[in-house]
Amino acid sequence: MYREKVTQFLCSDTEPIVQTKAGKLRGFQVNGTYTFYGIKYADAERFKAPRPVEPWDGVKDAIEYGYCCPDIIRGEEPWGWFLYPRRKYFGNENCQYLNLWTQHLDPEAKRPVMVWIHGGGYFGGSGIDLEAYDGEDLSRDGDVVAITLNHRLNIYGFFNLNEFGGEYANSGNAGIADLVAALVWVRENIAQFGGDPDNVTIMGQSGGGGKVTTLLQTAAADGLYHKVILQSGVIGTKDNDRSALLTPAILEELHITGANLDDLSQLSHDQLVDAAEAATKRVLGMGKPLAWGPVPGDYYRGYPTEHGFRKETEDIPMLIGCNLFELDGTSPAGVKSRLTPEEKRAMVAERVGEKTADEVMAEFGKAYPEMDVSYAGATDIRFRIPQLLFMEKRYEMAKAPVWCYMFTYESLFMGGVLPGHGGELPFMFGNADHNVAMFREGVSGRLMAEMERSWLSFAYTGNPNGSHIAKWEAWDPERRACMNLGCTTVLKHGHDERLLQLLKNKEIGEIKI
């Protein structure tokens, strides 16, 4: 990421040093922002519950990123890194680390705390995986404490050995227990970094949004957060727990039984991944590690549209949304003004079929008159449709409001594309001006200000409104208000539901669209 020039830097033997519950930490200050990397918030043995870190004497440096959870996808290639700049770091299963940006080290400052939970499903990614996750701009622009974190994933975080009890009683949710441990660390220590432990927002995109939902359904997290932001994080209506099939198959591959379960701690990363890959292919017929996820039960109640939202969360406001284009293929590219009507129709028909192309284009034009109709076939339904059901269920039980958005920005990259899954991240983090592929003169800066300030306003008050944006109405089943954030930002009401009906044309759960 292209950063502004350093005009001030401080890191000495005396400052900035903060006293935490376990010991003293030294970070650094750059251009006025205090920064602490690689804070260890918990420790854990393999597949077992996290525990507080042991206290230490002296001062520990917090100036380097901590370990990320080891990846279990092999042969990954750096595709799409220009539009979504990434970075990789060292992997180790002892990966309970967080990074923190703040403007104050005064315990009386009591600034809002925004905790980011990264995407990558429940199997990959990290709190530093995308350059957009950098919290410096968000902290400085909003005078908040910004946090990103790593936690156990894939087989390390969700290997369901629960039935064996004892220290393995919650191994199927170890990755979620790590998140709870991180929030406990925030509760106990954040005041020393200028944060307010009674004003914590948890937020995440994609798998991170799924984890935020999981925390809503986890009693152990109660009282540790006060607002939630879900970005492109609702993709299903039921739990996707395949561990009942996967776990015995992996143990069989490893020649492990309940009698020698502790032998798992001696196995190498490659041995675990080989067994997981073989079992996933043999039992589930899946080539990718998408089977990992939280295990419903006493610890995690289960997905809310299947099991209901917990009453304990009814006072927690929610900001939720997704992108016009998400994951399906690639966005239509090119300068749209050069295309003939016939060429635009052909682009849409290729995705939705000849029979429905004209009607889809007509409905897209009604829903998004400010956008080029060639994008009609790229309209996402995998996130948007389940999200509608999710919001309806949430509205039925919650006392706090739900605020809905749709990200519709068109980048001029490759002549014009819709940024897909995660495209909104640099805008709400306030660092889109560091991403060259997202730049659009007179547009990207305005949108970044609208989104970052809306997210910050929500963190302060539970309401995204302010002088930075047109009036944003809370969502309800009648008016179905949705703030469209893009090259044109406008509040719409039930704008896309006929279009979604054409693209899906069947009942989803209990909602007909």
User: What is the DSSP annotation of 228-290?
Assistant: EEEES----SS----HHHHHHHHHHHHT--GGGGGGGGGS-HHHHHHHHHHHIIIII--SSST
Place of tokens 């991403």: 435
pLDDT reported for residue 302: 96
SS3 at position 344: helix
| 17 within 8 A of 35, measured Cβ to Cβ | no
Do 355 and 478 contact (CB within 8 A), yes or no?
no
Phi, psi for residue 346 in degrees, rounded to 5? -65, -35
**Tokens linked to 157:** 């975080």
pLDDT tens-digit profile, the chain (513 residues): 456 799 999 999 999 999 999 999 999 999 999 999 999 999 999 999 999 999 999 999 999 999 999 988 766 666 777 888 888 889 999 999 999 999 999 999 999 999 999 999 999 999 999 999 999 999 999 999 999 999 999 999 999 999 999 999 999 999 999 999 999 999 999 999 999 999 999 999 999 999 999 999 999 999 999 999 999 999 888 888 888 889 999 999 999 998 899 999 999 999 999 999 999 999 888 766 678 999 999 999 999 999 999 999 999 999 999 999 999 878 999 999 999 999 999 999 999 999 999 999 999 999 999 999 999 999 999 999 999 999 999 999 999 999 999 999 999 999 999 999 999 999 999 999 999 999 999 999 999 999 999 999 999 999 999 999 999 999 999 999 999 999 999 999 999 999 999 998 744 454 444
SS3 171: helix
pTM metric for this prediction: 0.96
Structure confidence at residue 507 (pLDDT): 44
Those residues with Cβ within 8 angstroms of residue 377's Cβ, 6 or more apart along the chain or in another chain: 332, 347, 348, 349, 350, 351, 352, 357, 360
CA 475-393-418 angle, 5° bins: 55
Q: Return the pLDDT at 122.
A: 94
